[in-house]
Amino acid sequence: MDHNKIVATTLKPPPKKYGVTHWSSRLLAQHLGVGNATVARAWRQVGVQPWRAESFRFSTDPELVAKVTDVVGLYLNPPTDAIVLCVDEKSQIQALDRTAPVLPMQPHLIERRSADYIRHGTTTLFAALEIATGHVTGALKPRHRRQEFLAFCKQVARAYPDRELHLVMDNYAAHKTPEVKDWLAANPRVTVHFTPTHASWMNLVEVWFSVIERQAIHRGTYTSVKDLNSKIRTFIDGWNDRAHPFAWTKTADDILKKANRKTTSDTRH
């Protein structure tokens, strides 16, 4: 069968009688009366992958252009003699303990752990990533309200005395409270730069959060919140010993071109 026909059929939704949302190679092969290997081969040739899907969200921030230009400008051309820090909190980190000891990896055997676990509570990690060096200033707190955030801002300011600071952060409500605004007014050496709404991925500390999640938190076992906090602090200390700069590569124009692209989905489906 012509591969173009296979691909054309793939790009159409399956008939309602099938009750499925997308084609599998076997289902499409049965529908077209060909072998599933033929379908799979056609898909590979044109790069069609019906089993995969990604999500996206466009920012509706009226200050989108200004905020993107501002934040990207900080990354690509940081102010002279100033420190650029990406600030955020990773909340609801669970202290999970397994009901049986983890069986470590061995030759020909992967690590194994019990499927059930015990919850011992949660913690919140506040972090400020210095993009020029990769150094992280962290704090662990039981909650992530405006009080905790303001206390962390003061901690960051103490960590960089007498330096001009530029803090990149998202639009979380605790970042914009009157208390925070008053503190910023009293500390003019600290300037805040907000990412656009729905664009927290522009905050480079999110990259570091993914690192600590993969390397320390996700596969760990913790007997208490205190134990969890201790191991997170150990990771941060170790990270700072081997820290490296975080480089931003996309220009503001690159981002804005994608942000302003037209919708391609057909809602009639």
Q: How much of the chain, in percent, has pLDDT values that exceed 90?
A: 48
Q: What are the tens digits of pLDDT across the range 45-96?
A: 889 999 888 876 667 778 888 988 989 999 998 998 899 999 999 999 999 8
Neighbour-count burial of 96, counting CB atoms closer than 10 A to its CB (0-12 exposed, 13-18 middle, 19+ buried): middle
Is residue 172 situated within a structural domain?
Answer: yes
Kindly give the residue spans of alpha helices, DSSP state H, lying in 124-221.
146-159, 178-186, 205-212
Is residue 238 situated within a structural domain?
Answer: yes
Do 193 and 239 lie in one domain? The reply is: yes
Do 178 and 72 lie in one domain? The reply is: yes
Is residue 258 situated within a structural domain?
Answer: no
Token couple for 78 = 């940081």
Do 100 and 160 lie in one domain? The reply is: yes
Name the residue range of residue 34's domain.
Answer: 3-46
Is residue 259 situated within a structural domain?
Answer: no
Residue 269 has pLDDT above 70, yes or no: no
Is residue 133 situated within a structural domain?
Answer: yes
Which residues have C-beta within 8 Å of that of residue 154, sequence separation ≥ 6?
183
pLDDT computed for residue 56 by the predictor? 64
Q: How much of the chain, in percent, has pLDDT values that exceed 70?
A: 94
- Beta strands, E only, 46-196: 82-98, 117-130, 136-141, 164-169, 190-194
The per-residue b/e assignment along 160-182, b for 16 or more CB within 10 angstroms, e otherwise, is: beeeebbbbbbeeebbeeeebee
Do 14 and 75 lie in one domain? The reply is: no
Query: Domain of 96: which CATH number?
Result: 3.30.420.10
Is residue 54 situated within a structural domain?
Answer: no
Is residue 123 situated within a structural domain?
Answer: yes
Can you give the pTM of this predicted structure?
A: 0.79
Is residue 51 situated within a structural domain?
Answer: no
Domain count, the chain: 2
Q: What are the tens digits of pLDDT across the range 155-183?
A: 999 999 989 999 999 988 889 999 999 99
Beta-strand pair 117-130/136-141: antiparallel
Residue 227 has pLDDT above 60, yes or no: yes
Do 20 and 78 lie in one domain? The reply is: no
Q: What are the tens digits of pLDDT across the range 131-149?
A: 999 999 999 999 888 899 9
Do 72 and 34 lie in one domain? The reply is: no
Which residues have C-beta within 8 Å of that of residue 3, sequence separation ≥ 6?
41, 42, 45, 46
Rounded Cα gap, residues 198 and 257, in angstroms:
16
Nearest to 166, CA basis, from 248, 42, 62, 81: 81
Do 87 and 197 lie in one domain? The reply is: yes
